[in-house]
């Protein structure tokens, strides 16, 4: 057999989703070698003004319309941003029509969509993760909690938009979290299920593996800031800022994560007949006894993606296509900048609770090679004015040789944007800053 011809880069790319992650993906794909045009469905106020990028007013849940758009625009590669369409089988539907998709099918998306399924896979694969108990009824869950006699971490089984986890401090709190899940707060009601987990301790870090079913490419580790308040206080959010590469994991540490966590996970997926072509996002806790998986996601993290995309070389689109086609062995190496990247989120007043929406966004910020403004929850009206429309509104990202300089640049950029009620943390990256 002849050696396979080198992989062509995709000319037409479709990004599915409408948040900050998708704005960053569309931006990076527009800059990739060989890409002529990027479509985003449904996109947001930021993707609407990105040069080389076109909007399609199709919701991520309308798989039929997305398929038609792929055919109409001769799309060579679809990159699916959020977990919901992945869990609902969008990749399967498009692949059945011969379209290359970066993002797992519904089978592989269970890594994120079912905590019970993911925990079982981890145990089978020997992947380090906290001890756990599964429960499929309220009585079973309460009995398991009482048998342990200590407050455990309570996790709703299905997709819960980042809100299904309670790290209980007391037995009372753990019981209340169980009651809430079986009262149907996260869907399924009486038919709900959950995982109770041992509490582990240590700093958290996110690692992303771009997979083609057999092989993988790792991105630099990133650290997210989940709490709304400075000093890591207050309720959990989707993420208020991030930085990369996180020095918590050096090259040797990242290699260890590859060997202990990511390769065994991909092998276990394959053993189940799952051809996983997309990102495995490992949310890790670095415990005294080594890395432990807190959660797997089947997509890029947000705001980790905004932080990482500016570090990606021009091969990105070709590498994602190689993953989609099971051909990483035939792809160019992905060049990744060694610079420090810093990302700060500007959220709406009230986030992560009841939010204020519809405020006009004013920006003097000029995006460039070292500074980017990505939109998350925004929309543009017919006159081209931009308004806030979600909890996380904007992401300002900057790169420099040091984290001090990268954060100084990002915060200076944030000073050039304004909307009523704009809320942000001033201490993002405190772990790596000297000021």
Distance CA(431)–CA(435), nearest Å, equals 10
Tokens of residue 242, six digits: 């991030």
Distance CA(213)–CA(387), nearest Å, equals 40
Using CB under 6 A, pick the residue from 76, 157, 197, 304 that binds ligand GLY.
304
CB-wise, 20 or 128, nearer to ligand GLY? 20
239 touching ligand GLY, by CB under 6 A: yes
CB-wise, 33 or 161, nearer to ligand AMP? 161
Nearest distance in Å: CB 251, ligand AMP: 24
Q: How many CB atoms lie within 10 A of CB 3?
A: 6
Binding mask 140-169 for ligand GLY (x = CB under 6 A): ----------------------x-------
CB-wise, 283 or 326, nearer to ligand AMP? 283
Scan residues 107-146 and list those touching ligand AMP (CB under 6 A). 130
162 touching ligand AMP, by CB under 6 A: yes
Three-class DSSP labels, the chain: CCCCCCCCCCCEEEEEECCHHHHHHHHHHHCCCCCCEEEEEECCCCHHHCCCEEECCCCCCCHHHHHHHHHHCCCCEEEECCHHHHHCCHHHHHHHCCCCEECCCHHHHHHHHCHHHHHHHHHHHCCCECCEEEECCHHHHHHHHHHHCCCCEEEECCCCCCCCEEECCCHHHHHHHHHHHHCCCCCCHHHCCEEEECCCCCCEEEEEEEEECCCEEECCCEEECCEEECCCEEEECCCCEEEECCCCCCHHHHHHHHHHHHHHHHHHHHHCCCCCEEEEEEEEEEECCEEEEEEEECCCCCCHHHHHHHHECCCHHHHHHHHHHCCHHHCCCCCECCCEEEEEEEECCCCCCCCCCCCECEECCCCCCCEEEEECCEEECCCCCEEECCCEEEEEEEEECCHHHHHHHHHHHHCCEECCCCECCCCCCCCCCCC
Residue 165 partner contact from ligand AMP, ligand GLY, none using kind-dependent CB cut-offs of 5 to 8 Å: ligand AMP
Distance CA(244)–CA(222), nearest Å, equals 4
352 touching ligand GLY, by CB under 6 A: no
Residue 42 partner contact from ligand AMP, ligand GLY, none using kind-dependent CB cut-offs of 5 to 8 Å: none
Number of residues that bind ligand AMP (CB under 6 A): 14
Nearest distance in Å: CB 295, ligand AMP: 4
Nearest distance in Å: CB 97, ligand GLY: 29
How far from 199 is each of 150, 238, 261, CA to CA, in Å? 10, 21, 19
- Select the span of 61-69, 298-306, 334-342, 373-381 touching ligand GLY (CB under 6 A): 298-306
Distance CA(274)–CA(271), nearest Å, equals 7
Nearest distance in Å: CB 412, ligand GLY: 24
Distance CA(212)–CA(279), nearest Å, equals 9
Nearest distance in Å: CB 170, ligand GLY: 26
CB-wise, 154 or 274, nearer to ligand AMP? 154
**What does residue 396 show for φ and ψ, rounded to 5 degrees?**
-105, 130
199 touching ligand AMP, by CB under 6 A: yes
How far from 376 is each of 245, 325, 347, 355, CA to CA, in Å? 22, 29, 9, 14
- Select the span of 40-48, 161-169, 379-387, 396-404 touching ligand AMP (CB under 6 A): 161-169
165 touching ligand AMP, by CB under 6 A: yes
Residue 302 partner contact from ligand GLY, ligand AMP, none using kind-dependent CB cut-offs of 5 to 8 Å: ligand GLY
Scan residues 198-237 and list those touching ligand GLY (CB under 6 A). 224
Nearest distance in Å: CB 389, ligand AMP: 24
227 touching ligand AMP, by CB under 6 A: no
83 touching ligand GLY, by CB under 6 A: no
302 touching ligand GLY, by CB under 6 A: yes
- Select the span of 7-15, 210-218, 245-253, 294-302 touching ligand GLY (CB under 6 A): 294-302
Nearest distance in Å: CB 415, ligand AMP: 29
Nearest distance in Å: CB 343, ligand AMP: 17
301 touching ligand GLY, by CB under 6 A: yes
Scan residues 287-306 and list those touching ligand AMP (CB under 6 A). 294-295
- Select the span of 15-23, 51-59, 193-201, 380-388 touching ligand AMP (CB under 6 A): 193-201
Please give the residue ranges that form the binding site for ligand GLY (CB under 6 A): 162, 224, 238-239, 297, 301-302, 304
> Which residues of this protein are in contact with ligand AMP, per CB under 6 A?
130, 153, 162, 165, 167, 197, 199-200, 204, 226, 236, 283, 294-295
């Amino acid at each position: 057999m002849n050696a396979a011809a080198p992989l062509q880069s995709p000319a037409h790319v479709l990004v599915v989703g409408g948040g900050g992650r998708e704005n960053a993906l569309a931006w990076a794909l527009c800059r990739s070698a060989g890409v002529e045009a990027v479509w985003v469905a449904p996109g947001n106020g930021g993707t609407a003004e990105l040069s080389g990028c076109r909007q399609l007013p199709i919701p991520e849940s309308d798989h039929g319309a997305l398929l038609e758009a792929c055919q109409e625009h001769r799309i060579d590669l679809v990159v699916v941003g959020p977990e919901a369409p992945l869990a609902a089988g969008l990749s399967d539907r498009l692949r059945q029509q011969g379209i290359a998709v970066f993002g797992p099918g519904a089978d592989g998306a269970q890594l994120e969509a079912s905590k019970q399924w993911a925990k079982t896979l981890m145990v089978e694969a020997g992947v380090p993760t906290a001890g756990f108990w599964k429960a499929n009824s309220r009585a079973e869950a309460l009995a398991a909690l009482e048998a342990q006699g200590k407050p455990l971490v309570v996790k709703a089984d299905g997709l819960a938009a980042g809100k299904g986890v309670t790290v209980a401090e007391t037995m009372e709190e753990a019981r209340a979290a169980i009651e809430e899940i079986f009262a149907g707060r996260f869907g399924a009601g009486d038919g709900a299920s959950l995982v109770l987990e041992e509490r582990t301790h240590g700093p958290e870090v996110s690692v992303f593996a771009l997979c083609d079913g057999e092989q993988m490419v790792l991105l630099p580790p990133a650290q997210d800031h989940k709490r709304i308040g400075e000093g890591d206080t207050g309720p959990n959010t989707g993420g208020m800022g991030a930085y990369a590469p996180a020095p918590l994991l050096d090259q040797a540490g990242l290699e260890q994560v590859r060997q202990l966590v990511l390769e065994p996970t991909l092998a276990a997926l394959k053993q189940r007949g799952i051809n996983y072509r997309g990102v495995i996002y490992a949310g890790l806790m670095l415990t005294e006894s080594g890395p432990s998986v807190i959660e797997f996601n089947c997509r890029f993290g947000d705001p980790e993606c905004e932080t990482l995309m500016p570090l990606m070389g021009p091969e990105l689109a070709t590498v994602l296509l190689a993953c989609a086609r099971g051909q990483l062995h035939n792809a160019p190496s992905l060049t990744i900048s060694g610079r420090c990247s810093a990302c700060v989120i500007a959220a709406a007043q009230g986030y992560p609770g009841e939010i204020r929406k519809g405020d006009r966004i004013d920006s003097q910020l000029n995006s460039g090679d070292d500074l980017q403004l990505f939109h998350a929850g925004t929309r543009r009206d017919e006159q081209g004015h931009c308004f806030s429309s979600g909890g996380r509104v904007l992401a300002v990202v900057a790169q420099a040789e040091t984290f001090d300089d990268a954060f100084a640049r990002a915060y200076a950029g944030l000073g050039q944007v304004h909307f009523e009620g704009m809320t942000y943390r001033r201490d993002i990256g405190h772990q790596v800053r000297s000021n």
